[in-house]
Structure 1
Amino acid sequence: MNTFLADTFLTALTKLDNQSQKAAKLTAFELQTDPTGKGKSFHRITASKEKDFWSVRANRDIRIIVHKTADRLTLCYVDHHDDAYDWASRRVFERHPRTGALQIVELVEQVREVMAKVDVAPAADLFVEPAPAPEPAKPTIFPLAKVGADSLQDYGVPQDWAELLVVSSMADALQAADHLPGEAAEAVRVFLAGGVPEAPAPAQAVEAQRFRMVEHRDELEAALEFPWDRWTVFLHPTQRQFVDAEYNGPARVAGSAGTGKTVVALHRALQLSRDDSTNILLTTFSDPLASALKEKLNILNGGEALVPRVKVSSFVGLAKELYELATGNRPRMVGRDAIIRRLKKIAPDDNPTFLTNEFEDVIDPWRVDSLEDYRELKRTGRRSRIGQRRRELIWPWFQALRDGMKARHELTEAQLFAWVEDYYSGRERKPFTHIIVDEAQDLGVPELRFLAALAPEGGNRLFFAGDLGQRIFKLPFSWKSLGIDVRGRSGTLKVNYRTSHQIREQLDRLLPEKLSDLDGLVEDRSGTISVFNGPVPEAISCTDQIDETKQVSAWVKARLDAGIAPEEIGLIVRSEGQLTRAQAVADMLNLSVQALLGDARPQAGLLSVGVMQLAKGLEFRAVAVMACDAEIVPLESRVEGAETQDDLDEIWQTERQLLYVAATRARENLLLSGVLPVSEYFDDLVTET
């Protein structure tokens, strides 16, 4: 008898507390060893229409729902006794008559009965008999009416649900999708987002996605131990087109947080690596993100520690490595703090912050080598204007700064990128055949030129994944001006698989519906939908830091009591100066913390604590963004450093985007807190509680 794990079982398992998970896993091991269940307490679910649903006792309260036939045992669900039986009573296990794929199908009439017993919001009216009402001022729009019930069934939607969906509003249809088998739900969401799903996959392929056969104990153990990671690399139909596409030039995939851009990048890298003639670079802007990419790529590759023909590295990490290979020496790097100190000595009467920003954002990245070049430069990305006399005054200071670094054989990151770019630009043999860039919105001018020099000309050589709404580090510039034109080879993901509908809907208010780059390429966020629901995000205004500590601690404790593990909870603050406020919450709960600095990743049993700038790439079931005080978000020191209104506008926008990045790390639960007066961004986010 073969043993299978349904995706519904793995999802339910993650929601149990640690002790209950251990009991469920132990029972699963025993069932795999002996699927007949000798010594286990099997009970048929008589209240279910599915005659082959059974309950298996894991401990006094936890029950596993299995589907048992003569030749297969499928672990379908796990929960506390009453909830597990209720789940089974509302479902059947059957083959879809049109697609032939096995499905766990929730019964429409049972859902209606359950929903009718609870106090539901207007958006849930799909599941109750509508009361007579006057003719509405505007006719209700049924977005799936044109698709038709027959076509929906072609994609695995059960007949009863298909007939209901074609007479459902957008809100009702989205809620209905939560109750459909996975492949059917995905097709419905693609239709609702205005797209057309790919042709239905063969039944065997669909079943392989929803039901995983486990033949050995170590395979079962891996599946049970890492259900969360499994979802971080799972490829969904709306993403596949970008993985499989053949491009005749540089290409880019966009999408708001949680739509799976990184998943596309990972799968594209792995797929290209299957060709023995390839040598692929998968890269991103920081070492921690590169480390996370490597972990996910290993999971995607079946747990192997090395994926042949794929190198994973950060931009600067790769540049340092290539420099050392070419010269035999490690580059001597100089950072921002040293530049500020030196400019203070060179120009003691001028604004060191302005001079440093001008050097890092204009002089260094654009490789300005003379006063003549500086006079003619348009200063792309810097909104503040500088006249010719001002440029003539400050240029000698930049020249002196550079002369000092040259004498010490030092390089800034921009100069390091430029050195490697020059080294490879004239070489016929390149180190990579394909380059895939994740978090591409934070590419700067030197990084983009550096990467473009590392691969030969030709289609598919450059692929970018990013979101303009998450740009937090680099100023905008024209890619086309550097010879990288992705127009006509760009697309936007519209289905959010990571963040709940409630969190996504609220956080989208922080950003414009449409964002465009300096080449006129527009990223349209409208029409994005999430695949699951969750609690409404909360925002609390506290009287002082002690009050904030108490309220956030109570919120975190409620998440822990609900079965969320400490490592699945993140406490995020604007900068290092506010980390003590997050630490105070952990201290009140007697929990240890994991500081998310450098390559550190969440560890079992520890609360994760970090700053917004390092939040990229992280995902938690619950996130509290703390210390959102008026003078912290946006950061007062940045605001005070603005010299013009244009500079101030840019700061306010990037601070919004930074808060968006931090808050979208939350999958299911989100809390924002601050001490009065709180950040004015609260007005755009959620109603205070």
Structure 2
Amino acid sequence: MTGRRRADTDRSQQLVRDQLDAQAVLAPRFARGAFGERQIATALMALTRPDGAGRQRWFLMIDRAWPGTRSANVDMILIGPPGVFIVDAKEWTSQPQIHAGVLCAGLDNRQAEIAKVKAMIRPAQHALARRLQIVADIVHPVLAFAGHSVHRNHQGVMLLGVKELRPTLAGELPSRLSTADVTAVHEVLAQVYPAYEPCNLPADRVAVQAAAQVAGGLFEPQDILDAEVAAATARPMERWMTFLHASQLAIVRRTYTGPARISGPAGTGKTVVGLWRAVEAAKNTTGPVLLTSLVRMVPRVQARLLHQMRPDLAHRIDCVHVHGWAARFLAERGIEVAYDAAAAENEFSHAWLAMRGSPLAALDPRPVYWRQEIDVVIKGRGIAERGQYRASARPGRQLRLTEGQRDLVWDLYERYQQRLVHRGIADAADLLMRALAEARREPPQPGYGAVIVDEVQDLSLTALRLVSAVAPPGANGLLLIGDCRQKIYPGGYRLSDAGLSITGGRSEVLTVNYRNAPAILDAALDVIAEQRLEDIDGTMVTGRPADLAVTHGAGRVVRVSEETESQLENQAVAAVRELAAGGGYGEVAVLCYRGAQARRYAALLRREGIPVVELDAYTGDPTDRVKVGTWHKAKGLEFAHVLLPGPSSAITDAAKGYQSDDESATLARHALHVAMSRARLTLWLGETSRAPAKPGALA
């Protein structure tokens, strides 16, 4: 890790310490004052760290639903080599004692707690016997006591104080389950005892220093830090993607007096903050909440994550990509728009045929560049007249156009638009323009309680105007989330173009990376390190931020070079199997620059007997299948291990000798940066000898 990126040690340590407090969000029962549960969970979390070989030998599930009951929950379920421990956490004022065969707290009879915890284990016993043929005595009921020292067995129930938990469960009991058995049991019990999270975000925060004091010096501070980090990162990636750091709680609950913005580099938790703010808005407003983005898949996955986080509120949060929202909105108004992307592309090809001998082709013979000019500048900025286009700014478009060249572009636009009208069809930009006109005429009813936009840097100006038009006025109405370093689509805008001004206390910049190992973060930032970028507020930022801190150090970048594509594919298959051995196929993703390459790798893995889910079909549900898709479709997602076969193709494809190459290269580097920064623990970069093993900034 370079000096540029090394955070102040004390600051980084304090940020990691705060993660214990974030369990108030992950296990919301803690937020209601059950501080003893926090102590007990911390003790058990320390067991969940991977062993020296990177294997997960212990799993801890917190706050799970009790099957067969309407609202009761199981505090904790610990699974490890000695067996399964169903833990009921207790914070009694009086010392637990046994009098005349009865469990008591002081003079109070608490024998009913014995029957209760015994009942809790029965669903586990039945499920394991039925599904895995595991005997019932592998499951142990445990009453765990915060603030007391106790170590005994009473009527088949283990009574343990918080100090005795780890030594007893991990040291005194014989191993009965293999690592594979532990994983299988965890998968079964995660279904039998589903997540139970029906509570609010915490109203108060409890400092980690206080936790250590109340615990009476039970653990060294580093034990607490390690336990918390291990517990957070050991969860399946879909659960990790909802992890809110304690330092971000204030942002989640903050009241903004007008439109607000959250920015920051990849991995700093912007999307997680947005998810939790959506939950807060659903709690505190009467109208629905709109959570939207440009790409189709991000809202789909976010909808599933919200259901895991708050099943009682998820139905009030409308997760839909901006084009899907526009189409639905127009349909609800009875406005027919025949959106047909394939047909529109065909009509543009015909329009370009009449122009391909023009000076535009000398600037760039690729029709895609001129199609983008129409989509993101003319239609994307809502330009209606030739003279307006002549004078218009073209943010994000690095190829300069003279007035005469702009006239030629306008001629192309008119030819294209005439063909669309003749066919009676619309393209994606038309869809947004018509939705904007209708929303301005009459906003949606009932109105939204809040509108949250993720990956806002990828929107066109028309799309930004649309979401602004449907957002409620006043406090907390509109939140924009994004990072100009991750802009992967052409075009651009400034907030002022949409009449938005976000300054002072309504703009947050996140500067701590919780996702990537330092080596991975360094490699991802190297790709864009030399760039200076204009942000949507008009300020200039560097590709490598100077004040970015990291919170953990485990991880690696693997570089592979082979002579042929076939050899590289064999290496990729071997790497997938190796990485999956530690945590399952569901922790691995193969991301490709082109869709054809992604389809080829998906077919390759299937032929090798490796389960695959393509990102087009991925819903955000935990699955033990390798995720395969393009860099663009991985936007907004993250994985423990990421393989990028042929990453230099993005850079080399941009170097065609055209005047627009600089712009193409910028977008390609951004896309590569996005793909690389999806990885948390392992980033695998594979090249063939037909391309340099370390292209440009990948070196």
TM-score, L = length of structure 2: 0.69
Residues 275-354 of structure 1 aligned to structure 2 (within 5 Å) = 275-301=284-310, 303-304=311-312, 307-327=314-334, 329=336, 331-335=338-342, 337-350=345-358, 351=361, 352-354=367-369
Q: Evaluate the alpha carbon distance shift between residue 63 and residue 180 of structure 1 in structure 2; reply closer, same or farther with a 3 A threshold.
A: farther
Greater CA deviation, 507-516 or 449-458? 507-516
Q: How many Å separate the matches in 1 of 2:514 and 2:170?
A: 29
Q: How many Å separate the matches in 2 of 1:311 and 1:270?
A: 11
Per the alignment, residue 415 of structure 2 pairs with 400
Q: Evaluate the alpha carbon distance shift between residue 51 and residue 309 of structure 1 in structure 2; reply closer, same or farther with a 3 A threshold.
A: closer
Contact kept in structure 1, 2:590 and 2:628, CA below 8 Å: yes
**Per-residue displacement from partner, 1:338-379 (whole Å, max 9, x unpaired)?**
243232344353443343232123222123323222222233
Q: How many Å separate the matches in 1 of 2:694 and 2:347?
A: 33
2:380 partner SS:
coil
Per the alignment, residue 468 of structure 2 pairs with 452
Compute the displacement of 1:265 (Å). Answer: 0.2
1:385 aligns with 2:400: yes
Quick one: which amino acid aligns to residue 649 of structure 1? Answer: D
Compute the displacement of 1:667 (Å). Answer: 1.2
Q: Evaluate the alpha carbon distance shift between residue 38 and residue 343 of structure 1 in structure 2; reply closer, same or farther with a 3 A threshold.
A: farther
Per the alignment, residue 113 of structure 2 pairs with none
Q: Evaluate the alpha carbon distance shift between residue 606 and residue 279 of structure 1 in structure 2; reply closer, same or farther with a 3 A threshold.
A: closer
The correspondence for 1:503, drawn from 520, 540, 552, is: 520
**Per-residue displacement from partner, 1:610-651 (whole Å, max 9, x unpaired)?**
11111112222111111234xx22252x432x642xx32222
1:437 aligns with 2:445: no
Q: Evaluate the alpha carbon distance shift between residue 315 and residue 47 of structure 1 in structure 2; reply closer, same or farther with a 3 A threshold.
A: closer
2:650 partner SS:
coil
Contact kept in structure 2, 1:254 and 1:523, CA below 8 Å: no
1:521 aligns with 2:527: no
Per the alignment, residue 246 of structure 1 pairs with 255
Per the alignment, residue 624 of structure 1 pairs with 643
Per the alignment, residue 472 of structure 1 pairs with 488
Q: Evaluate the alpha carbon distance shift between residue 459 and residue 104 of structure 1 in structure 2; reply closer, same or farther with a 3 A threshold.
A: same
Contact kept in structure 1, 2:337 and 2:425, CA below 8 Å: no
Compute the displacement of 1:291 (Å). Answer: 0.8
**Per-residue displacement from partner, 1:301-321 (whole Å, max 9, x unpaired)?**
1x44x5253211111111111
1:649 partner SS:
helix
Q: How many Å separate the matches in 2 of 1:10 and 1:232?
A: 18
Compute the displacement of 1:326 (Å). Answer: 0.8
Fraction of identical pairs, as percent: 22
Compute the displacement of 1:290 (Å). Answer: 0.6
The correspondence for 1:551, drawn from 542, 562, 571, is: 571
Q: How many Å separate the matches in 2 of 1:338 and 1:17?
A: 56
Residues 188-267 of structure 1 aligned to structure 2 (within 5 Å) = 228-267=237-276
Compute the displacement of 1:12 (Å). Answer: 4.7
Q: How many Å separate the matches in 2 of 1:315 and 1:441?
A: 13
Contact kept in structure 1, 2:589 and 2:639, CA below 8 Å: yes
Contact kept in structure 2, 1:41 and 1:56, CA below 8 Å: no
The correspondence for 2:374, drawn from 359, 380, 383, is: 359
Compute the displacement of 1:441 (Å). Answer: 1.8
Quick one: which amino acid aligns to residue 56 of structure 2? Answer: L
Contact kept in structure 1, 2:612 and 2:628, CA below 8 Å: yes
2:668 partner SS:
helix
Contact kept in structure 2, 1:362 and 1:379, CA below 8 Å: yes
Contact kept in structure 2, 1:628 and 1:675, CA below 8 Å: no
1:332 partner SS:
coil
2:85 partner SS:
helix
Q: How many Å separate the matches in 2 of 1:473 and 1:103?
A: 54
Per the alignment, residue 116 of structure 2 pairs with none
Q: How many Å separate the matches in 2 of 1:343 and 1:587?
A: 41
Contact kept in structure 1, 2:439 and 2:470, CA below 8 Å: yes
**Per-residue displacement from partner, 1:16-43 (whole Å, max 9, x unpaired)?**
3899998659623555545549889999
Contact kept in structure 1, 2:46 and 2:224, CA below 8 Å: no
Contact kept in structure 1, 2:242 and 2:309, CA below 8 Å: yes
1:575 aligns with 2:594: yes
Q: How many Å separate the matches in 2 of 1:415 and 1:63?
A: 54
Compute the displacement of 1:416 (Å). Answer: 1.4
Q: Evaluate the alpha carbon distance shift between residue 48 and residue 319 of structure 1 in structure 2; reply closer, same or farther with a 3 A threshold.
A: closer
Q: Point out where structure 2 has 5 or more consecutive residues left out of the alignment.
A: 1-35, 61-77, 87-120, 122-138, 144-152, 183-207, 362-366
Compute the displacement of 1:575 (Å). Answer: 0.6
Q: How many Å separate the matches in 2 of 1:368 and 1:376?
A: 10
2:629 partner SS:
strand
Per the alignment, residue 80 of structure 1 pairs with none
1:655 partner SS:
helix
1:481 aligns with 2:501: no
Quick one: which amino acid aligns to residue 411 of structure 2? Answer: P
Q: Evaluate the alpha carbon distance shift between residue 554 and residue 253 of structure 1 in structure 2; reply closer, same or farther with a 3 A threshold.
A: same
Contact kept in structure 1, 2:494 and 2:536, CA below 8 Å: yes
Higher relative contact order (CA 8 A, sep 6+): 2
1:16 aligns with 2:56: yes
1:623 partner SS:
strand
1:181 partner SS:
helix
Per the alignment, residue 424 of structure 1 pairs with 439
Per the alignment, residue 675 of structure 2 pairs with 662
Quick one: which amino acid aligns to residue 534 of structure 2? Answer: S
Per the alignment, residue 104 of structure 2 pairs with none
Q: Evaluate the alpha carbon distance shift between residue 8 and residue 99 of structure 1 in structure 2; reply closer, same or farther with a 3 A threshold.
A: closer
Per the alignment, residue 666 of structure 2 pairs with 653
Contact kept in structure 2, 1:182 and 1:210, CA below 8 Å: no
Greater CA deviation, 660-669 or 408-417? 408-417
Compute the displacement of 1:264 (Å). Answer: 0.4
1:624 partner SS:
strand
Contact kept in structure 1, 2:294 and 2:322, CA below 8 Å: yes
Contact kept in structure 1, 2:339 and 2:428, CA below 8 Å: no
Contact kept in structure 2, 1:323 and 1:331, CA below 8 Å: no
The correspondence for 2:224, drawn from 167, 170, 181, is: 181
Contact kept in structure 2, 1:545 and 1:581, CA below 8 Å: no
1:28 partner SS:
strand
Contact kept in structure 2, 1:570 and 1:620, CA below 8 Å: yes
Compute the displacement of 1:472 (Å). Answer: 0.4
Q: How many Å separate the matches in 2 of 1:614 and 1:63?
A: 32
Q: How many Å separate the matches in 2 of 1:419 and 1:49?
A: 62
Compute the displacement of 1:330 (Å). Answer: 5.5
Q: Evaluate the alpha carbon distance shift between residue 60 and residue 462 of structure 1 in structure 2; reply closer, same or farther with a 3 A threshold.
A: closer
Q: Evaluate the alpha carbon distance shift between residue 59 and residue 264 of structure 1 in structure 2; reply closer, same or farther with a 3 A threshold.
A: same
Compute the displacement of 1:452 (Å). Answer: 0.9
Q: How many Å separate the matches in 1 of 2:492 and 2:426?
A: 23
Q: How many Å separate the matches in 2 of 1:49 and 1:412?
A: 61
Greater CA deviation, 369-378 or 316-325? 369-378
Q: Evaluate the alpha carbon distance shift between residue 337 and residue 585 of structure 1 in structure 2; reply closer, same or farther with a 3 A threshold.
A: same
Compute the displacement of 1:683 (Å). Answer: 5.0
What is the alpha-carbon root mean square deviation over aligned residues?
4.1
1:535 aligns with 2:555: yes
Quick one: which amino acid aligns to residue 350 of structure 2? Answer: R
Per the alignment, residue 697 of structure 2 pairs with 684
Q: How many Å separate the matches in 2 of 1:670 and 1:414?
A: 36
Q: Evaluate the alpha carbon distance shift between residue 47 and residue 258 of structure 1 in structure 2; reply closer, same or farther with a 3 A threshold.
A: same
Quick one: which amino acid aligns to residue 59 of structure 1? Answer: R
Q: How many Å separate the matches in 2 of 1:8 and 1:659?
A: 36
Per the alignment, residue 59 of structure 1 pairs with 176
2:314 partner SS:
coil
Contact kept in structure 2, 1:56 and 1:63, CA below 8 Å: no
Q: Evaluate the alpha carbon distance shift between residue 101 and residue 616 of structure 1 in structure 2; reply closer, same or farther with a 3 A threshold.
A: farther
